[in-house]
Amino acid sequence: SYELTQPPSVSVSPGQTARITCSGDALPKQYAYWYQQKPGQAPVLVIYKDSERPSGIPERFSGSSSGTTVTLTISGVQAEDEADYYCQSADTSGTYRYVFGTGTKVTVL
Amino acid sequence: QVQLVESGGGVVQPGRSLRLSCAASGFTFSNYDMHWVRQAPGKGLEWVALIWYDGSNSYYIDSVKGRFTISRDNSKNTLYLQMNSLRAEDTAVYYCARDKDVFDIWGQGTMVTVPS
* Averaged pLDDT, A30-42: 96
Q: Which pLDDT value is given to residue A1?
A: 64
Q: Does B27 reach chain A within 8 Å, measured CB to CB?
A: no
- The candidate with the shortest Cα–Cα distance to B34, out of B16, B47, B45, B15, is B47
Is any Cβ of chain A less than 8 angstroms from the Cβ of B101? yes
Answer whether B45 touches A (CB < 8 Å). yes
8 Å CB contact of A33 and B102: yes
Nearest residue, CB atoms, B103 vs list A45, A97, A101: A45
Strand ranges for chain B from DSSP E? 3-7, 10-11, 18-25, 33-39, 45-51, 58-60, 68-73, 78-83, 92-99, 103-106, 110-113
Candidate from A74-88, A91-105, B64-78 with smallest mean pLDDT: A91-105
- Which of these, A2, A5, A1, A104, lies nearest to A46 by C-alpha position? A104
By C-alpha distance, which of B4, B57, B50, B7 is closest to B29?
Answer: B4
Kindly provide the residue ranges of all beta strands, DSSP E only, lying in chain A, ordered along the sequence: 9-12, 18-23, 33-37, 44-47, 61-66, 69-74, 83-91, 97-100, 104-108
Condensed to tens digits (0 to 9), the pLDDT of residues B31-89 reads 999 999 999 999 999 999 999 999 999 999 999 999 999 999 999 999 999 999 999 99
